[in-house]
């Protein structure tokens, strides 16, 4: 009976001792954390996608509170949430330009020729290391959905033509698909940029169109029709200077013989 009480007594003593120790440590060693950081983090979407370039949402919240980055740099949060964070912290929300991932290839099953069959692990990158994956055009989309698997936001779906279709509303421009694509076909572009070259073939003329009916054959008509300075032909492809501030029009695409340069509705 007595040993039973001694045991309880010791346990109470030990508990009390460590309790006091912890309480003292809490007082003496505590780190003052800005309460605004956790509050800001609570307002963020919490996807930890890394699109802002910070190590997750907590890192972003810390950076916003420190004034190193503007709230609008979070491409996942809605404009309302961004405003809310800006108001809460009393900072400028910053200019937010919505960007989306655009695919530089339109050569699906119906347009691009297949010269060999690939059997193996169902992944674009796995196919690309086996003689390029069997697609005639070595620059084109292999259609094995590495981007769809990489997308955290379910914004990419494979269409019936075997090409990934990006849902502009769901896309947050996090850049995961850009990294996943072994052919480097994705580019993050402002959503209001309607002019897009959907081809990456470095071939020209019939050599290009023999492999894919919607390939750019490097005729240069789009560059000639556009405002001078907007489109430059380089390495057999039209390069659109989106930063130039020049107005792109639908008319540029009118004389394209293959439809490689498109106006996105």
Among 107, 133, 140, 238, which residue interacts with other proteins (rule: CB under 8 A)? 133
Q: What are phi and psi of 64, to 5 degrees?
A: -65, -45
Name every residue whose Cβ is closer than 8 Å to that of residue 213 and which is 6 or more positions away in sequence.
Answer: 107, 111, 112, 258
According to CB under 8 A, which residues from 194 to 213 bind other proteins?
A: 202-203
3-state secondary structure of 234: strand
Cβ-contact 236, 209 below 8 angstroms = no
- Is residue 27 involved in binding other proteins (CB under 8 A)? no
Question: Which range binds other proteins by CB under 8 A, 6-14, 91-99, 118-126, 214-222?
Answer: 118-126
Tokens of 155: 């914004």
User: CA 242: distance to chain centroid?
Assistant: 18
- Is residue 121 involved in binding other proteins (CB under 8 A)? yes
Q: What is the spatial distance between Cα 176 and Cα 222, in angstroms, rounded to a whole number?
A: 31
The full 3-state SS of 157-171, as one line of letters, equals EECCCCCEEECCCCC
- Is residue 126 involved in binding other proteins (CB under 8 A)? yes
- Is residue 234 involved in binding other proteins (CB under 8 A)? no
- Is residue 119 involved in binding other proteins (CB under 8 A)? yes
Among 45, 50, 59, 134, which residue interacts with other proteins (rule: CB under 8 A)? 134
Question: Which range binds other proteins by CB under 8 A, 51-59, 64-72, 121-129, 222-230?
Answer: 121-129
Nearer to other proteins, 148 or 262 (CB): 148
The contact set with other proteins (CB under 8 A) reads 115-116, 119-121, 123, 125-126, 128-134, 138, 149-150, 179, 182, 184, 202-203
């Amino acid at each position: 009976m007595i040993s039973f009480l001694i045991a309880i007594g010791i346990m109470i003593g030990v508990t009390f001792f460590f309790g006091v120790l912890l309480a003292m440590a809490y007082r003496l060693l505590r780190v003052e954390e800005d309460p605004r950081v956790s509050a800001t983090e609570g307002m963020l979407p919490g996807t930890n996608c890394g699109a802002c370039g910070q190590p997750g949402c907590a890192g972003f919240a810390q950076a916003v509170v420190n004034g190193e980055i503007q709230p609008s740099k979070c491409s996942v949060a809605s404009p309302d949430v961004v405003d809310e964070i800006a108001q809460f912290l009393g900072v400028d929300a910053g200019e937010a330009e919505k960007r989306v991932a655009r695919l530089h290839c339109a050569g699906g099953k119906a347009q691009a020729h297949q010269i060999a069959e690939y059997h193996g692990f169902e992944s674009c990158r796995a196919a690309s290391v086996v003689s390029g994956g069997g697609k005639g055009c070595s620059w084109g989309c292999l259609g094995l959905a590495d981007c769809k698997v990489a997308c955290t936001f379910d914004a990419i779906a494979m269409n019936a033509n075997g090409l990934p279709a990006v849902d502009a509303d769901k896309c947050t421009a996090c850049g995961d698909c850009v990294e996943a694509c072994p052919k480097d076909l994705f580019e993050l572009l402002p959503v209001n940029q309607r002019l897009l070259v959907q081809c990456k073939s470095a071939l020209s003329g019939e050599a290009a169109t023999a492999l894919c009916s919607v390939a750019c054959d490097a005729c240069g008509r789009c560059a000639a029709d556009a405002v001078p300075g907007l489109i430059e032909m380089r390495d057999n492809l039209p390069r659109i200077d989106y930063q130039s501030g020049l107005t792109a029009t639908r008319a540029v695409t009118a004389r394209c013989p293959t439809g490689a340069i498109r106006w996105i509705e």
